[in-house]
């Protein structure tokens, strides 16, 4: 039998369990009828978000606009915020395409400008509404992460991969860190409203961040 002292020692040296991974989204049905219903709901939600923000995208409004019953809507999503989050992710993907000029530094700067302009417009208000709503709707948060946040981070990872391929990215910097430093300030400014989100402000943010993220003083694209 082990002694209390040895049990305490073992407990002290046992690694703590890793944090749980974010909840995976349920697999969407591939049945044609379900696919059509989901597409109709997402299209309706995107229209309503563009017209009146999250307050306009109620379950009743989405159902009426899409022609899909509320019961079916709630069969596929846990809440109307989850529907809106997925629809918003699609909207963002189409509204902010990735630049590809061949110059990774300039593409990163341009993407900061594009995302800043997106947040500064009416849809930026919708983003802030969704972010706030997901705080009190934990069932919707995985949809916001998967369909919006992760897609945007994947896009930045693509840009960061180009910088690495051109030999201008600091080897110690990951794509996640680059995304946080380049785009985190935009979200903070959107939520606090303490500074405008104009092009000059976006350029100042990207210049300061890229000064630390890149090491391209002696490297030119294609060299």
For 166-202, the pLDDT digits (tens) are 999 998 999 999 999 999 999 999 988 888 888 999 9
Instruction: Give percent above pLDDT 90 in the chain.
Output: 65
53 band by pLDDT with thresholds 50, 70 and 90? very high
Of the two residues 97 and 47, the one the predictor is more confident about is 47
pLDDT reading at 2 higher than 60 = no
Identify the pLDDT of residue 9. Answer: 46
pLDDT band at 33 (very low <50, low <70, confident <90, very high): confident
Closest CA to 182 of 104, 91, 94, 129: 104
Q: Give the mean pLDDT of the chain.
A: 85
Residues contacting 90, CB < 8 A, separation 6+: 42, 46, 147
Q: How confident is the model at residue 91 (pLDDT cuts 50, 70, 90)?
A: confident
Percent of the chain with pLDDT over 70: 84
pLDDT tens-digit series, residues 130-172? 999 999 999 999 999 998 888 889 989 999 999 999 999 998 9
Q: Please tell me the distance from the alpha carbon of residue 44 to that of residue 47, in angstroms, as a whole number.
A: 5
Inform me whether the pLDDT recorded for 217 exceeds 70.
Answer: no
pTM: 0.74
Q: In this structure, which CATH number among 1.20.1250.20, 1.10.357.10, 2.60.200.30, 3.40.1360.10 belongs to the domain 92-213?
A: 1.10.357.10
- CA 147/CA 12 separation, integer angstroms: 40
Domain residues of the chain, as ranges? 92-213
pLDDT at 90: 84
pLDDT at 24 exceeding the cut of 80: no
Cα 172 to Cα 85, 125, 137, 168: the distances in Å are 33, 35, 36, 12
Confidence label for 66 from pLDDT (cuts 50, 70 and 90): very high
Going by pLDDT thresholds of 50, 70 and 90, the confidence category of residue 13 is very low
> Taking 70 as the threshold, does the pLDDT of residue 18 lie above it?
no
Under a CB-based contact definition with an 8 Å cutoff, are residues 109 and 204 in contact?
no
């Amino acid at each position: 039998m082990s002694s209390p002292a040895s049990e305490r020692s073992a407990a002290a040296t046992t690694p703590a369990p890793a944090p749980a991974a974010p909840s995976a989204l349920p697999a969407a049905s591939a049945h044609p009828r379900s696919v059509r219903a989901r597409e109709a709901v997402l299209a309706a939600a995107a229209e309503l978000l563009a017209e009146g923000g999250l307050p306009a995208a109620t379950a009743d409004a989405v159902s009426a606009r899409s022609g899909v019953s509320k019961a079916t809507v709630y069969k596929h999503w846990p809440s109307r915020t989850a529907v809106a989050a997925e629809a918003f992710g699609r909207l963002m993907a189409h509204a902010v395409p990735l630049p590809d000029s061949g110059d990774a530094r300039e593409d990163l700067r341009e993407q900061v400008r594009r995302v800043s302009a997106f947040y500064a417009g009416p849809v930026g208000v919708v983003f802030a509404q969704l972010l706030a709503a997901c705080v009190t709707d934990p069932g919707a948060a995985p949809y916001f992460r998967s369909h919006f946040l992760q897609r945007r981070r994947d896009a930045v990872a693509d840009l960061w991969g180009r910088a690495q391929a051109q030999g201008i990215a600091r080897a110690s910097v990951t794509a996640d860190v680059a995304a946080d430093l380049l785009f985190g300030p935009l979200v903070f400014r959107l939520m606090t409203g303490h500074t405008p989100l104009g092009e000059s402000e976006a350029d100042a943010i990207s210049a300061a961040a890229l000064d630390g993220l890149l090491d391209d003083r002696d490297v030119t694209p294609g060299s």
